[in-house]
Amino acid sequence: MTSNLHVPIAVGGISHHDADISALEQFRFEDERSVLSDAREWFRGVCLLQTCNRVEVIVHGEASQLEAFFEEQGRTGYWILEGEEALRHLLQLAAGIDSMIVGEDQILGQLKASLSCSQEAGTCNAVIDQCITKAVHVGVEVRRRTQINKGAVSIGSAAVQLGEHLLGSLEGKHIAVVGGGEMGTLVTKALAAKHLTAIYVTNRTHERALVLAREVGGKAVKFEELYHYISLSDVVISCTAAPHPVIHADRFVAMMEERRWPLDQRPRPLIIIDIAQPRDVEPGVGSIRGVHLFTIDDLRNVSENNMHTRKKEASMAARFLEEELSQFVVLLNRTAADDALASLHTWAEAIRVRERDRAVGRLQGTDEKTLAVFEDFSRVLAKKLLLDATYAIRSGAECGNLEQAEALVRAITRGEHTCIRKRD
C-alpha cells in the first residue's frame, strides 16, 4: 500500500526552537476569531494554535496558500511544513517531543482548545478535525506506552523549579501568583508542596482567585492590592492571559523602597518570573535595583536538562510516531473521499426519490403503510446498489489513489468512460 498523502495539509508559524519571547510576541495574533474569519476565505479548514512557546496555523490547503496568508497578515520569519512532514510535526507536537519541556501534558489540552475555537468560528472541516483529533489520540497513547512524561514538568512547574534554584529553597518563603487560569493553577499546585509560609493568589476575577487559594491553602487577594502583596513576597510568578502588561515599572520604584529595612543599604531582593505570553511584566521592571526578572527564555535550561534525562523515552516515542504516521495518511486520504462519496449519494438519492414518487403516483388511494413500505424498500435498494462502489471509492482513496476514486464516481453519475488500471 502506498502511503502518499493526497490531501493538501500544511502547518506553519514560529516556536521556541527558532524564536525568542520578543519574536513570539510580534508574531502572535491578538484577535484569534478575526484571524480565523480571515483565514476562512483562504482555506477549506484552518486551526490556530497559540501557546507560551509557539504560534502555529494548521490548514487544509497548500503550503503556497499559507505563505501568502502569512504575508497578507504581515508575518515574517516563519517556517512552513506540508504533506507528511506537517502530519509528523503534529504527532511530535502532541507527544510532547517538540515541547520546550519535553513530555509535558499541557499541549494536549491546548490542541483540544484550539480545535474547539476553530469549530466555534466555523473554520473546522472534517480534515482539520481528523488532524487534531488523531494527533491528540496518539499523544495520549505515547504517554501510555512510554515514560516520556514521567517526572515531566509544565512551564508552570518549571518556573517553580527556577525560583527554587535561585533561592536555594522555597521553604518558609512568601510567593505571589498572578493569574488564576490554567497556567496559574499549575503554578499554584506546584508551589503547594514546597512548605511555603504564604501563597498569595490574585486574579482579575476575584472568585477564581478564591477557588484556587482554597485548593492550596493560600490567600486570595484582590487585584487592586497586587503591588502591596508583591512587596511582601520573595518570588512573584505571573501568568495571566492579559493581552498587555499588568505589572508596570513606574509602580515598582516606590514599592521596592518599602522593602528596605531601616539599616539596609539596598532593598530586599525580589525575584519575578514572567511566564505569560504576551508578557505580563514591563521589561523596565528588570532594571530596577533589587529586582531580578526572568522570562520564558530563561526556562530553556530546564528544558535542556529535562530532555537529557528523557532521550531514551523520546526515541521510543519517535519510533511509535513513525508507525502511526502511515495510518494518519490513510485516515486523511479516506476522509478526502467523503466529497466524492457525497456527490455519489446525492445523485443516487435524487434518482431514488424520483422513481419512488413515480411508482406511488401510479397507485390509487395509497395508504400510509404502503407509502412507508415504498420508502423503506427504495432506501435499502439504493444503499445496497452503492455498497460495492462506496467500498471501492474508499479503498482507492485510502491507498492514495484519489483520482481513481473520483473517476469512478464520475463514471457512475455522469456515464463517463474511465480506465482503471489494476494495481500491482
**Cβ-contact 294, 167 below 8 angstroms:** no
The DSSP code for 62 is: -
Q: How many CB atoms lie within 10 A of CB 236?
A: 26
Beta-strand pair 79-82/198-202: unpaired
Beta-strand pair 9-15/45-51: unpaired
Quote the CA–CA distance of 95 and 381 in Å, as a whole number: 46
Classify residue 284 by burial, with Cβ atoms within 10 Å: 0-12, 13-18, 19+: middle
Quote the CA–CA distance of 201 and 307 in Å, as a whole number: 31
* E runs forming strands in 260-411: 270-274, 291-295
The DSSP code for 247 is: B
Quote the CA–CA distance of 59 and 239 in Å, as a whole number: 29
Which three cell numbers, joined as nine digits, stand for 314? Answer: 523520546
- State the catalytic residues: 52
Residue 232: half-sphere exposure toward Cβ, Cα within 13 Å: 17
Cβ neighbours of residue 247 under 8 Å, at least 6 residues apart? Answer: 178, 226, 230, 236, 238, 272, 274, 280, 281, 282, 285
